[in-house]
Structure 1
């Protein structure tokens, strides 16, 4: 029997993505099991989808950790979790000028989005009010830069408060499939996370939600997670690779290879052809020398350090972007293709807000 009767060609998968057709679960499983000796064929085909919708642009994102450690949740992958013995820095809220100065470091290197992150189950209304001066300072000095908040589970009305404070996007990752979510966390549910992403979108914030690979999941689990994420239709999809911190339940989980990471990114791009697919935590240690190939699948990366772990030097990432044949996206350039921006405009108008200057 011919190969095409067993598995689709990479070009067929890419053509369907160019038409923005949703891949089947079998298609995702095929990509996730793609043989290593044909991996370049897959990257080249799926890379054409990335180029079609995002050209040669790479969007840089910069994390500002507003509050670190002492989280009451028990997410097994997290160094800030309840009971964590990981050797991390812990501190309470940064002052507004500290947050602005931290953001300025990333913006000076080319970041078009600043991600304001705080540990904890979710913010109180006082916490939401607390970060408003930091947002004001960033927006006043850098009006074209997007501000994304990542503060945990949102209560009713908080997404609207964040929107009114000047936040453009909200990140809350699903992390894994609903079926196995209880394996990685017992203090909140998968449905809680889905609800928070929905609240952010209903308030007119750009939804940002992704996954973490390398936590013992199967290809089927990854396919399920991608399908559930597609149901939320996020504008940006961070793909994280587990950093197995000592002192956490997943310490020692070094199950990812660079090739598997590329297959996961290819599956994410096929599922989200016109959304921002972000190469996120753990890329340096798991992709290693294959990071430049990953830029042919993802159009967005984090620059610099992560929440409780160090990234590599920003100059090395900027060099990698150039050497791979890409360029850093300017803060004034649109982050999404025009047809998707129309949907975002509709969402923002419905919430009574407008798009940031770079949209």
Structure 2
């Protein structure tokens, strides 16, 4: 007997059906008794497009803190009182060495991240030269840069250097954006993603769940990313750091996190859905279930918080019967 979720999965696979807002909210508020059938329906979609492969991504935080933005979730922002390590842009050799380490743990995507509104020329030059050296050593490694809001021509320079993907998260819905930050606009974020698409770089853009948003906000996040046509969608779950304005916020349960991942899979069926920051503290013992909807994870540490041991993640994949996807990002993956 087909469930309503099976019927939705069939429509999504057959005709790229877009859920109505009512159907989407029903998923987010579904009873716990429905969770396994919801995961099964999401897995049908995930398996149709990606089989049992999982992409591994590793972050290097090349510049920590020292940021003038006022993002309420971020330990690196100017308004944060979190006791984090702060340092200026790393040297090229440190960034390149990080890529070598990523390769040893089967991370096919290496994410070069820097705090701040956007890169100044000196910082951009370090990233560009680092990417050139990494690509010379390992042409098949996918390089993702996450450097903030880009100025004119910066996206083109990154593309020329060999950057395959650029991450700039929407983070939340347009309606909720000013509750999270006022130092830049939602339009600023969308504009940067459009800029990298125009330059021929694969766009990566995602969200943070658990920042006091409504169910409707979550639905709009997923649908906005579908319109934006992001190739890769990191779904972060708030890990509320002490000293930030969102300190003490704990809205996400493991079951709700799984419902969110199912929703993002159903609304963006052909895209890389990545379980990202906060998965360890929010999903806890249910982490393996997340990969029935998602097909990508971060391994290792995040920007200012610790992640799970890489060996534990690899063991989790093996226990699930999944395999690491080592295929490089090709031109066919960039559809813009």
Residue 125 of structure 1, CA deviation: 2.9
**What is residue 82 of structure 1 aligned with on the other side?**
78
Structure 1 unaligned segments of length 5 or more: list them: 348-359
**Is the 8 Å Cα contact of residues 240 and 280 (structure 1) preserved in structure 2?**
yes
SS in 2 for 1:117: strand
What's the counterpart of residue 351 of structure 1? none
Distance 1:275 1:119 in 2: 26
**Equivalent of 2:9, from 11, 14, 28?**
14
Say whether 1:327 aligns with 2:323.
Answer: yes
Q: Is residue 2:121 matched to residue 1:121?
A: no
1:223 matched to 2:219: yes
Query: Which residue of the partner structure matches residue 270 of structure 2?
Result: 274
What SS does the corresponding residue of 2:10 show, helix, strand or coil? helix
CA distance in 2, matches of 1:155, 1:98: 25
Q: Show CA shifts across 1:81-129 (max 9, x none).
A: 1121112111111111111111211211000100000000011233212
1:73 and 2:64 matched: no
Alpha-carbon distance in 2 for matches of 1:334, 1:26: 38
Contact kept in structure 2, 1:276 and 1:335, CA below 8 Å: no
Alignment of 1:107 with 2:103, yes or no, is yes
Aligned to 2:231: 235
CA contact (8 A) 2:209 2:238 kept: yes
Q: Which residue, 189, 195, 202 being the options, matches 1:193?
A: 189
Q: Is the 8 A contact 2:89 2:123 kept in 1?
A: no
**2:259 is matched with which residue?**
263
* Separation in structure 1 between the aligned mates of residue 328 and residue 123 of structure 2, nearest angstrom: 30
Q: Does 1:33 pair with 2:11?
A: no
The total of aligned residue pairs comes to: 334
Moved over 3 A (4+): none
Tell me, in whole angstroms, the C-alpha distance in 2 between the residues paired with 1:32 and 1:250: 22
In the alignment, the residues of structure 2 paired with residue 125 and residue 161 of structure 1 have an alpha-carbon distance, to the nearest angstrom, of: 11
2:300 equivalent to 1:308: no
Find the counterpart in structure 1 of residue 47 from structure 2.
51
Residues 135-284 of structure 1 mapped to structure 2, 5 A cutoff = 135-284=131-280
For residue 289 of structure 2, what is the aligned residue in structure 1?
293
TM-score (norm 2): 0.96
Preserved CA contact (<8 Å) 2:164 2:329: no
- The answer to whether the 8 A contact 1:235-1:275 is kept is yes
Q: In structure 1, how many angstroms separate the alpha carbons of the residues matched to 2:333 and 2:97?
A: 33
